[in-house]
Amino acid sequence: MTLQQLKYVIEIARRGSMNEAAKRLFISQPSLSNAIKDLEEELGITIFERTNKGISLSMEGTEFLGYARQVVEQAELLESRYLDAKPSPQHFSVSTQHYAFAVNAFVSLVRQFGQEQYEMALRETKTHDIIEDVRTMRSEIGILYLNDFNAKVIQSLLKSGNLAFHPLFTAKPHIFISVHNPLAKQRSVTIDQLQDYPYLSFEQGEYNSFHFAEEILSTLTYPKRIRVSDRATLFNLLIGLNGYTISTGVLSSDLNGNDIIPVPLDCDETIQVGWICHRNLALSKLALSYIEALKEATGQAERLS
């Protein structure tokens, strides 16, 4: 087993594609495949599962990847310390539901640790994909919410993937609306008051179960409903159509301006937002710093709960 083989495994897991990893590593795809095959035979495990849909980490591979990353990181520290080598690019990935505070924290992380070289990823994506990204180590951290309705299903998936949920904050539900919406001056609103306005929600694709919805009260009937796939589109529709969505109430005027505001929703629900990671793997320095940035970015949540 060589350090180069460990780097190959890390790059394939990062890209989710043998072909894409080969391009990034400047070697041929057959050479990369043979190197991984030799490593698997030497160790007597299957690191990557190959299917018609592509390549993914096996359960053994996920555990191996955690150790491989630690070894490679230590080797890079040695090279930097004793060989006067140029610092290696820093890598970090996070997958999250569509939360502005997750972006805020990411900005803080890059500002704090942005060297001459880094490669980071911020994936605003579907709930099921967040769990899968963290399970397969495509992302080190995932951000999602639990409540009484979805907790049993989400926790079951986390347990089967050997993932742990760590609470960040608990919030009372709010709606996000335009400052020009007729409800903007209300101290709070009820579901009945929202019936005349378009309800905006994030689509969940193949896993379009109520339990994976990013918005609470997903089982209610909404007379006017629009599904979107990204936060920018949703915010534009909030303004252009006087629509609304249901979320935590945590917004950032620095990144989102002052055109959208939170208004408390009059209901008995609560939202527990948290981050997920592998249960038995040590977090990187960047992941730990990102978690601290998340806590700082969500400090206002306590005032909204």
Does residue 78 surpass a pLDDT of 90? no
CATH code for the domain in which residue 214 is found: 3.40.190.10
Confidence of residue 277 (pLDDT cuts 50, 70, 90): very high
Strands 163-171 and 271-278, by their bridges, are antiparallel
Q: What pLDDT does residue 303 have? A: 42
- Say if 279 falls within a structural domain: no
More confident site: 55 or 240: 240
Mean pLDDT of the chain: 87
Per-residue CA distances from 40 to 10, 44, 60, 122, 227 (Å):
14, 6, 11, 31, 44
Q: Is residue 293 part of a domain?
A: no
**Does the residue 237 lie in any domain?**
yes
**Is the pLDDT reported for residue 148 higher than 50?**
yes
**How large a percentage of the chain has pLDDT more than 90?**
51
Domain containing residue 39: CATH number: 1.10.10.10
Is the pLDDT assigned to residue 143 strictly greater than 90? Answer: yes
Q: How many CB atoms lie within 10 A of CB 208?
A: 12
Residue 255's pLDDT band (cuts 50, 70, 90): low
Average the pLDDT over each of 35-44, 121-130, 202-211, 238-247 and give the range with the smallest value.
202-211
For residue 86, give the H/E element and its range: none
In a domain, 116, yes or no: no
pLDDT of residue 275: 97
Q: Is 222 exposed, middle or buried (0-12, 13-18, 19+ CB in 10 A)?
A: middle
* Number of domains forming the structure of the chain: 2
CA 195 – CA 216 distance, rounded (Å)? 16
Average pLDDT over residues 274-297: 90
For the chain, first and last CA: distance in Å? 52
pLDDT at 304: 41
pLDDT reported for residue 114: 73
The alpha carbon of 245 is separated from its chain's Cα centroid by a whole number of angstroms, namely 20
What pLDDT, on the 0 to 100 scale, is given for residue 15? 83
pLDDT at 85 exceeding the cut of 70 = no
Residue-wise pLDDT tens digits, 150-174: 999 999 999 998 999 999 999 999 9
| 177 plus 267 within the same structural domain | yes
State which of 38, 63, 88 marks the end of a domain: 88
CA-to-CA dists, residue 251 to 155, 175, 234, 279, angstroms: 27, 11, 14, 30
Q: Please report whether residue 224 resides in a domain.
A: yes
- Only one residue has tokens 């080190």, namely 140
Q: Which of 88, 122, 148 is the last residue of a domain?
A: 88
pLDDT at 183: 94
Does residue 136 surpass a pLDDT of 90? no
Residue ranges of alpha helices (H) inside the chain are: 3-15, 18-25, 29-43, 59-82, 100-113, 127-135, 151-160, 231-240, 253-256, 285-297, 301-304
* Amino acid identity for residue 77 in this structure: L
Residue 138 in domain: no
Q: Which of 200, 168, 173 shows the shortest CA–CA distance to 102?
A: 168
Instruction: Report yes or no on 239 lying in a domain.
Output: yes
Question: Is residue 63 in a domain?
Answer: yes
> Domain of 244?
170-271
The three-class DSSP label of residue 92 is strand
Q: Final residue of a domain: which of 63, 88, 113?
A: 88
Taking 50 as the threshold, does the pLDDT of residue 100 lie above it? yes
Residue (of 57, 62, 58) closest to 21 by Cα position:
57
